[in-house]
Amino acid sequence: MTSGEISGGGPAIHGDESLKALAAEPIVIARAARKSPFIFASPHSGNVYPLSFVKRSRLDAVALRKSEDAFVDELFACAPELGAPLIAARFPRVFVDANRAPSELDPSMFEGPLGLGVGPRTPRVTAGLGVIPRVVRDGLEIYGLRIPASEAHFRLEHFYRPYHAALAELIASARAEFGVAILIDCHSMPPPSRGSDIVLGDCYGEAASPDLTLFVQRTLTTCGFVVARNTPYAGGYTTRLYGKPEEGVHALQIEISRALYLDEARMTKASGFAICRERLKRFSEALIAASGPWLLPGRPGQAAAE
């Protein structure tokens, strides 16, 4: 294995030319004949690490990869065959976090002035988890030295913006065809202390129809998952940005416990992967086949009594 090779269950990519190749294809969209207004998205399952980035990092491959929502795109790979596109970032979360605002930048990370629209210092930026992360999930510093300000420009222009442009187009095309768009933003989480298998985040009812969230929760429960809502994950930047149920766009974040499918010590699929994927396929089939008030344009609906 060469010093720049990333292993641990994902593909490896080498050399500065790999950065150009990744920039030429920063995302992948899997789709077949569209049959529903659903869009599935995986912004954090990317596992293509440019060697230039690896060399600049002070961490080893496993430490870097622990920030991934590893294999989440594969867990929802059934979506296209069910008639819903699946968009996934190929670039890793530690390189660019597509679930952050583009202004969530920490100027102290960079050598030279950014010259970008740096926003207020959010708690995420303070924690080192901005759009260009300073730390990995475990809090370890990614870089030993400050990185050139030009890096921020390059990563936002060639990775972040193409992801959101493609996602926005998928949402717009769903609305044009069906009168409504429903985004399922797919993530993974460390096993939560309360023992939930899945946490749904709808920004406390602001990003998706309460009826939709309730139906998703009940369907996941029927598929054998223990489900919580909005605690500890109420929804990220993507959910808040796109979720406008009063305009016929719903966004719902799904966090899946890694204990169900991932060997985190080695960042490889665990024995439960196939079972988890099959249960999520049953869930996706039921979700896409269902009808409800969330399918009516501009009518977010009211939650039924629980």
* C-alpha pair distances (Å), 104 with each of 116, 152, 168, 202: 10, 11, 20, 21
In the prediction, which pLDDT does 298 show? 61
What is the C-alpha separation between 250 and 244, in angstroms, rounded?
6
CATH class (in words) of the domain with range 15-289: alpha beta
User: What is the percent of the chain with per-residue pLDDT over 90, rounded to a whole number?
Assistant: 76
Q: Extract the tokens encoding 293.
A: 């008030």
Helices (H) and strands (E) in the chain, counts: 10, 11
Q: Which residues contact 72 (CB under 8 A, 6 or more apart)?
A: 42, 44, 45, 186, 187, 188, 256
- The answer to whether 263 and 195 are in contact (CB under 8 A) is no
Q: Which residues contact 37 (CB under 8 A, 6 or more apart)?
A: 174, 175, 177, 178, 179, 180, 181, 182, 295
**Residue-level pLDDT, tens digit, the chain, 306 residues:** 333 444 444 434 334 558 889 999 999 999 988 899 999 999 999 999 998 899 899 998 889 998 999 999 999 999 999 999 999 999 999 999 999 999 999 999 999 888 777 887 899 999 999 999 999 988 999 999 999 999 999 999 999 999 999 999 999 999 999 999 999 999 999 987 678 999 999 999 999 999 999 999 999 999 999 999 999 999 999 999 999 999 999 999 999 999 999 999 889 999 999 999 999 999 999 999 998 999 988 644 443 333
What is the C-alpha separation between 38 and 41, in angstroms, rounded?
10
Q: Note the pTM of the prediction, 2 decimals.
A: 0.91
In the prediction, which pLDDT does 115 show? 78
- The answer to whether 60 and 266 are in contact (CB under 8 A) is no
Helices (H), the chain: 15-24, 51-56, 61-65, 72-75, 123-126, 149-155, 161-178, 210-222, 237-242, 273-289
